Chain A
Amino acid sequence: MGSAHSVPAEMRELADRTGFTSEQIEHLHRRFKQLSQDQLTIRKENFDSIPDLEFNPIRGKIVHAFFDKRNLRQESDGLADEINFEDFLTIMSYFRPIEMNMDEEQLERFRKEKLKFLFHMYDSDHDGKITLQEYRNVVEELLSGNPHLEKESARSIADGAMMEAASICVGQMGPDQVYEGITFEDFLKMWQGIDIETKMHVRFLNVDTIAHCY
Chain B
Amino acid sequence: MGGRGPPRPAAPRLPAPALLPLLAALAAGAAEARATSEGQLPGAAAMGTGTPPSPSGTAFEETRLHVFTLDYPHVQIPFEITLWILLASLAKIGFHLYHKLPSIVPESCLLILVGLLLGGIIFGAEEKSPPVMNSDVFFLYLLPPIVLDAGYFMPTRLFFENFGTIFWYAVVGTLWNAIGIGISLYGICQISAFGLTDITLLQNLLFGSLISAVDPVAVLAVFENIHVNEQLYILVFGESLLNDAITVVLYNLFKSFCQMRTIKVIDIFAGIANFFIVGIGGVLIGILLGFVAAFTTRFTHKIRVIEPLFVFLYSYLSYITAEMFHLSGIMAITACAMTMNKYVEENVSQKSYTTIKYFMKMLSSVSETLIFIFMGVSTVGKNHEWNWAFVSFTLLFCLIWRALGVFVLTQIINVFRTIPLTFKDQFIIAYGGLRGAICFSLVFLLPPAVFPRKKLFITAVIVVIFFTVFIQLSAKPANQNNEFTFIIIVFYFSSQGITIRPLVEFLDVKRSNKKQPAVSEEIYNRFFDHVKTGIEDVCGHWGHNFWRDKFKKFDNKYLRRLLIRENQPKSSIVSLYKKLEIKHAIEMAESGMISKVPSSVSLRGLITFNYVSSTDVLTNLQQCGGKHVQHIGHHAFQAVTVAFPFQTMSYNRHSLAADASEKQAKEILIRRRHSLRESLRKTNSLSRERPAAANTKRFLSLPKNTKLPEKLRVRNKTSSRVGDSSDSELDAATTVLNLRPRAGKILRDQRLRQQRPLPEFRVEWKNEVDGSQDGRGEQQDPSTLTQPSIGFRQPLLTRPRFGTLSREDLTADHGSARPMPPPRLVREASQGDRQRNKPENQLY
Contacts and interface: CB of A to CB of B under 8 A. Distances in A.
Interface of A: 27-28, 31, 34-35, 47, 50, 52-53, 55-59, 61-62, 65-66, 92, 95, 97-98, 100, 118, 121, 132-133, 138-139, 142-143, 145-146, 148-149, 153, 155-157, 159-168, 170, 172-180, 190-195, 198-204, 206-209, 211-213
25 contacts: A57-B530, A62-B535, A92-B539, A142-B523, A142-B527, A142-B571, A143-B571, A149-B568, A157-B523, A159-B677, A161-B523, A162-B520, A162-B680, A165-B520, A167-B801, A172-B817, A175-B820, A176-B825, A178-B686, A178-B697, A194-B521, A195-B510, A207-B539, A207-B541, A208-B540
Contacts of B531: 58, 61-62, 65, 118, 121
Nearest to A153: B574
Contacts of A35: 538
A209 B523 CA distance: 31
A160 B801 CA distance: 9
Interface of B: 229, 231, 418-420, 422, 510, 513, 515, 518-521, 523-528, 530-543, 545-546, 549, 553, 568-571, 573-574, 577, 580-581, 673, 676-677, 680, 683-684, 686-687, 691, 694-695, 697-698, 797, 799-803, 816-817, 819-821, 824-825, 828, 832
B513 A193 contact: yes
A156 B677 contact: yes
Contact of B530 (A34, A142, A193, A194): A142
Contacts of A167: 799-802
Contact of A202 (B422, B541, B828): B541
Given A148-B568, A177-B694, A206-B541, A118 B534 contact: no
Contacts of A66: 538
Contact of B801 (A31, A139, A164, A194): A164
Given A176-B828, A194-B521, A97 B534 contact: no
A160 B515 CA distance: 17
A59 to B, nearest CB: 7
B164 to A, nearest CB: 12
B520 A175 contact: no
A208 B542 contact: yes
A175 B828 contact: yes
Contacts of A212: 537, 540
B673 A156 contact: yes
Nearest to A152: B677
B680 A95 contact: no
A213 B513 CA distance: 41
B832 A95 contact: no
Contact of A201 (B418, B542, B819): B418
Nearest to A97: B418
A163 B680 contact: yes
A41 B543 CA distance: 26
A192 B521 CA distance: 11
Nearest to B576: A157
A210 to B, nearest CB: 8
A94 to B, nearest CB: 9
B530 A58 contact: yes
A79 B543 CA distance: 29
Nearest to A177: B694
Nearest to B569: A146
Given A161-B520, A193-B515, A199 B528 contact: yes
Nearest to A94: B535
B519 A28 contact: no
B683 A98 contact: no
Given A142-B523, A191-B524, A200 B532 contact: yes
A167 B518 CA distance: 11
A138 B418 contact: no
A52 B513 CA distance: 35
B686 A143 contact: no
A24 B741 CA distance: 70
- Which of A98, A160, A203, A211 is packed against the most chain B CB atoms within 10 Å? A160
A45 B543 CA distance: 25
Contact of B683 (A61, A62, A118, A178): A178
Nearest to B680: A159
Contacts of B825: 175-176
A132 B525 CA distance: 18
Contacts of A170: 800
B523 A138 contact: yes
Contact of A53 (B510, B534, B553): B534
Contacts of B545: 202
Contact of B697 (A162, A164, A176): A176
Given A62-B531, A165-B520, A175 B526 contact: no
Contact of B527 (A138, A174, A192, A203): A138
Given A56-B533, A139-B573, A28 B523 contact: no
B804 to A, nearest CB: 9
A204 B449 CA distance: 58
Nearest to B229: A195
Nearest to A46: B538
A178 B687 contact: yes
Given A97-B418, A159-B680, A167-B800, A175 B534 contact: no
Contact of B231 (A62, A157, A198): A198
Interface centre among A65, A177, A206 (most CB of B within 10 A): A177
A98 B697 contact: no
A160 B581 contact: yes
Given A56-B533, A200-B528, A204-B539, 14 more contacts: A31-B539, A55-B553, A58-B530, A95-B535, A142-B530, A160-B676, A164-B520, A165-B520, A170-B800, A172-B800, A173-B819, A176-B825, A195-B510, A203-B418
Contacts of A27: 539
B761 to A, nearest CB: 15
What 8 A-B pairs come out closest when comparing CB atoms?
Answer: A167-B800, A167-B801, A62-B534, A161-B520, A148-B568, A52-B537, A97-B418, A175-B820
A82 B129 CA distance: 82
Contacts of A208: 540-542
Nearest to B546: A52
A121 B535 CA distance: 13
A168 B844 CA distance: 30
Contacts of B574: 143, 149, 153, 157
A143 B537 contact: no
A59 B820 contact: no
Contact of A176 (B568, B573, B694): B694
Nearest to B824: A175
A139 B419 CA distance: 30
Contact of A175 (B420, B523, B528, B698): B698
Contacts of B581: 160
B819 A164 contact: no
Contacts of A173: 800, 819
Nearest to B580: A160
A192 B680 CA distance: 25
A53 B537 contact: yes
A65 B571 CA distance: 24
Nearest to A192: B513
A160 B577 contact: yes
Given A56-B537, A153-B574, A202-B541, A178 B691 contact: yes
Given A143-B574, A175-B828, A180-B687, A211 B539 contact: no
Nearest to A193: B513
Contacts of B694: 176-178
A184 to B, nearest CB: 14
Of residues B510, B683, B698, which shows the largest number of chain A Cβ atoms within 10 Å of its Cβ? B683
A178 B684 CA distance: 8
B508 to A, nearest CB: 11
Contacts of B419: 97-98, 198, 201
A155 B801 CA distance: 18
Contact of A211 (B540, B697, B799, B832): B540
B447 to A, nearest CB: 48
A144 B677 CA distance: 20
Best-surrounded residue of B543, B817, B824 (most CB of chain A within 10 A) = B543
Nearest to A66: B538
